[in-house]
Amino acid sequence: MNNDLLYDYIIHLGDSSMILGQRLGELCGHGPELETDIALTNISLDLFGQVRNYFQYAAELLGGGKTEDHVAMLRYEHQYKNVMLVEQPNNDFAYVIARQHFYDQFHFMLMQALVNSKDERLAAVAKKSIMEVEYHLDLSTTWMKRLGDGTEESNRRLQDAIDHLYRFTQELTTPTQTEKQMANLGIGPDIEAMQEKYYNDLHAVMEEAKVSVPANVVFQFGGKEGRHTEQMGYILADFQFMQRAYPDMKW
Amino acid sequence: MEAVDQNIEEILYSVSDPEIPVLSIVDMGIIKKVESIDDHYLIHITPTYSGCPAMDTIEDDIVKAFDEQGLEAKVKHVLSPAWTTDMITEKGKQALEDYGIAAPRDASVDKAALSGEKNQIKCTNCGSINTKMVSRFGSTACKALFQCEECGEPFDYFKCLR
């Protein structure tokens, strides 16, 4: 296997968590209540910690003195391989929770499988991450039910968020060429095989939350191949500004 | 941690978690190995949580503590085996309790408490188990926030991780 392929896989793993972490970071000081604010930014911190583990590995594969900061911040939009779900903005708290839950359900399954990776380093990152991701999933599951089975208003808002975001879910379990090759090599899991369980688990939570599964959905794909929604450019403008203006700057 | 020279252990014992100053990093269970290499010591440490912002400070504190004894230390971060709260020593758990942070219990207690099924987390102030979880995430990623229904004391519970 060549390093380019492994690099591409690692940045895909890291990018989804990183962009979601950035979105959650925007809520710092703006959460609807103090405890939620702290919870969401702690999840962001967990995700960035996990991403550092991935990108330190990716930087070593690049060689030439590259660091995790180069990998994280100095790529162009089409070189980011995150799913489009995580780019979507924090329109309101229901969007934040629906987006988080759609991602957590998949992320937890992915980590459960990645601990068996033939790549020891990725397996170690997954073993470290899985305990944290389980917490994220617990939190977003609780909030899905609380909002959906709460008031008429909170139910309506959660349903709105789901109607908007559901179209981005199938990309999570639809493999790219890179993911297929990694699955063949035993480095990454077969994510297509996870699709049934993913939707079963997700729909079970939605049922309990008294929200409905949208009908006639046109699923959206492309983020994992570098084709993003318009949201991505705005995120990168924020995210990259310091490194672009002052390359290699450090705190 | 594997057995090391007593003076090295003492130096490591003197370094504490910057978020929980009463707790030595040795009792915290994050020192995995100490290697003696030529002119320096290589200390293997593992993070509690992936995004733990204290890791860089702990690394600096270790280097400084060795430097003060005229020794050189380098720090290597390792991920495997992943840290769990089982790695906190009994002495460490006592230090947490004395400091006002409820020490991690076993996983089933943790799940029951955090999901609100059953109250089993003792108040660090009055000892009552009539406590409730206020937030799944507390002042840091590794803690959840609880409040005692008897005495009203809000306190942190160190979440069970394994």
Q: Which of B52, B83, B134 sits opposite A35 (nearest CB)?
A: B134
How close A191 comes to chain B (CA, Å)?
Answer: 24
- CATH code, domain with A164: 1.20.1260.10
How close B30 comes to chain A (CA, Å)?
Answer: 13
pTM of the predicted protein model = 0.90
| Structural domain includes residue A24 | yes
Q: Which of B51, B84, B135 sits opposite A48 (nearest CB)?
A: B51
Separation between Cα atoms, residue A28 and residue A44, nearest integer Å: 10
B134 contacts on A by Cβ (under 8 Å): 35
Give the angle A74-A80-A83 at the CA atoms, nearest 5°.
150
Q: Given this model, what pLDDT does residue B158 score?
A: 87
Q: Given this model, what pLDDT does residue A71 score?
A: 95
pLDDT along chain A (251 residues), means of 10: 90 97 95 88 94 96 92 96 98 97 98 97 95 93 96 98 98 97 97 98 98 97 97 96 88 70
| Structural domain includes residue A99 | yes
How close B7 comes to chain A (CA, Å)?
Answer: 31
Nearest CA in chain A to B48: A128
| Structural domain includes residue A30 | yes
Structural contact between residues B159 and B144, judged by C-beta atoms closer than 8 angstroms: yes
Which residues pair with residue B45 across a beta bridge?
A: B31, B77
- What is the domain count for chain A? 1
pLDDT score of B118 more than 80: no
> Mean pLDDT in chain A?
95
Q: What digits encode the pLDDT tens for the residues A214-248?
A: 999 999 999 999 999 999 999 999 999 999 999 88
Q: Given this model, what pLDDT does residue B115 score?
A: 61
Q: Domains in chain B, start-ordered, CATH in brackets?
A: 6-85 (3.30.300.130), 100-158 (2.20.25)
Q: What digits encode the pLDDT tens for the residues B10-38?
A: 999 999 988 888 899 999 999 999 999 98
Q: Which of A17, A38, A23, A150 is nearest to A95 (CA)?
A: A23
Compute the average pLDDT of residues B56-65.
94
Q: Given this model, what pLDDT does residue A33 score?
A: 86
Any residues with CB less than 8 A from the CB of A98 and at least 6 apart, and which?
A: A144, A158, A161, A162, A165
Q: Which of A194, A141, A204 is nearest to A170 (CA)?
A: A194
| Structural domain includes residue A152 | yes
Separation between Cα atoms, residue A132 and residue A202, nearest integer Å: 19
Looking up tokens 């180069």 gives: A70
What size, in residues, is chain A?
251
| Structural domain includes residue A36 | yes
For an interface test with B, the pick among A42, A52, A121, A134 (most B C-beta atoms closer than 10 Å) comes out as: A42
ipTM score here?
Answer: 0.78
Separation between Cα atoms, residue B64 and residue B73, nearest integer Å: 8
Q: Given this model, what pLDDT does residue B112 score?
A: 64
Q: Which domain holds residue A151?
A: 3-245
Q: Given this model, what pLDDT does residue A119 score?
A: 97
Which residues pair with residue B77 across a beta bridge?
A: B45
> Mean pLDDT in chain B?
86
